[in-house]
């Protein structure tokens, strides 16, 4: 009976040691991705922030262009209706 307890304790200690080693490897891998200022994640964050700052002035311009294009679409709809009516009149004559 005592042997079973000892072997269980040894197995639990081996399991915990393997788990700790695995966690250390995972932490090292994550640290290389985003733990330092020179890591890939930090460089990506810096680049995305630069893109956000550079493109922030585009939103008002795009909204103005979008409203202008909406007016053009309305005008083209009217032209389409007139052309359809002209085509129907030409087919009828």
Distance, in Å, from the CA atom of 40 to the CA atom of 32, rounded to the nearest integer, reads: 8
Domain that holds residue 6: 1-56
Q: Indicate if 50 and 72 belong to the same structural domain.
A: no
Same-domain check for residues 52 and 28: yes
Query: For residue 13, what pLDDT is reported?
Result: 96
Query: Which tens digits make up the pLDDT trace of 18-64?
Result: 999 999 999 888 777 776 777 777 888 888 999 988 888 888 888 88
| 39 touches 32 (CB < 8 A) | yes
Residues 46 and 79 in one domain: no
Are 46 and 86 in the same domain?
Answer: no
Query: Are residues 44 and 87 located together in one domain of the fold?
Result: no
pLDDT at position 11: 95
Strand (E) or helix (H) holding 23: helix 2-34
- What is the rounded distance in angstroms from the CA atom of residue 80 to the CA atom of residue 87? 10
Same domain, 63 and 93: yes
User: Whole-model pTM?
Assistant: 0.40
Question: How many domains in the chain?
Answer: 2
Predicted local confidence at residue 93, as pLDDT: 64
Confidence of residue 7 (pLDDT cuts 50, 70, 90): very high
**39-50: per-residue pLDDT in tens?**
777 888 888 999
Tell me 1's DSSP state: -
């Amino acid at each position: 009976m005592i042997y079973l307890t000892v072997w269980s304790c040894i197995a639990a200690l081996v399991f915990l040691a393997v788990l700790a080693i695995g966690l250390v490897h995972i932490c090292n891998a994550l640290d290389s991705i985003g733990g330092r200022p020179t890591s890939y994640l930090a460089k990506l964050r810096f680049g995305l922030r630069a893109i956000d700052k550079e493109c922030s002035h585009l939103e008002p311009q795009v909204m103005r262009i979008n409203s202008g294009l909406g007016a053009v679409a309305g005008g083209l709809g009217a032209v389409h209706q007139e052309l359809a009516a002209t085509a129907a009149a030409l087919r009828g004559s």
